[in-house]
Amino acid sequence: MELKIASWNINSIRLRAPTVVKFLKQWQPDVLTLQETKCPQGQFPSGIFAEAGYPYFAEKGQKGHHGVGIISRIPFTDRHSEQFCGKDDARHVSIKLDIPDKITIHSFYVPAGGDIPDVNENEKFEHKIGFLDQLEQWQTHDHIKTTGPSILTGDLNIAPHENDVWSHKQLLKVVSHTPVEIEKLEAVRRAGKWSDILRDFAEQDEKLYSWWSYRSKDWQKSNRGRRLDHIWLDESLKNKCISTDIATQVRGWEKPSDHVPVLATLKL
């Protein structure tokens, strides 16, 4: 069977539920992970997705901020959410697909980190670095991995490769592309032995973006993007990926999120 996974920072699931349905109909993923749902627990608009053929959902909601979710047309079990840094933030949810491979899928929303890349001057950046450190430790102690293969998806709020940003030189001191963030994210990736499949499927000099600022009057013309959204496959799955995609055109839809969906298709 083929399994298509998508991940999307939707920037308010209730506001953009019809947009999500449009995406589901056009791209037909089997599973869509969501970040920044901005939806209180228990108010996830699951009905509209069930009508579109995606009756299964998991959420970790939070009023006004953060929030993650997973919707699927494949049944799943073992819903789980983990907390980091002693904060009651809705930044992680995972499920296990009810298929022979029993694949566990994670949806993460890593803290953005504010504007100043200094842990001593910016508590938001301190939170981001602490979150990444704990995520690395969590994997090192084998807590993220369950029995069977795993996929880590989400808005990780870091563009790690020099061609994941519009200008490597100009963004080296800008939060999301600083050396310390890239180093921390790479430590997380190594700890879980993950494959960054979107970058692995691309040429190393190919620009890959999944986010364009709302501040730009013409995001397409300026094209000052960053790849903040990721799909990582564990060692047992990386060679089963047959294609990847970034749904760039979704950024041009009416009332869009500033992020677009990223996708990977596996042949199981």
Return phi, psi of residue 34, to 5°.
Answer: -130, 150
- The structure's pTM equals 0.97
Q: Where are the domains of the chain?
A: 2-267
Whether residue 149 is predicted with pLDDT greater than 60 in this model: the reply is: yes
Structure tokens at 236: 């047992």
- Alpha-carbon 127 to chain mean position: 18
Provide mean pLDDT across the span 14-40: 97
How open is the CA angle 114-186-128, to the nearest 5 degrees? Answer: 20
CA distance 153 to 249: 20
As a whole number of angstroms, the distance between CA 160 and CA 181 comes to 8
In the chain, where does DSSP find H-type helix?
17-27, 46-51, 123-140, 168-171, 179-192, 197-200, 219-222
Percent of the chain with pLDDT over 90: 91
Judged by phi (left if over 0) then psi (alpha if -120 to 50, else beta), residue 49 lies in alpha
Name the band, by pLDDT with cuts 50, 70 and 90, for residue 147.
low
Q: Look at domain 2-267 and name its CATH class.
A: alpha beta
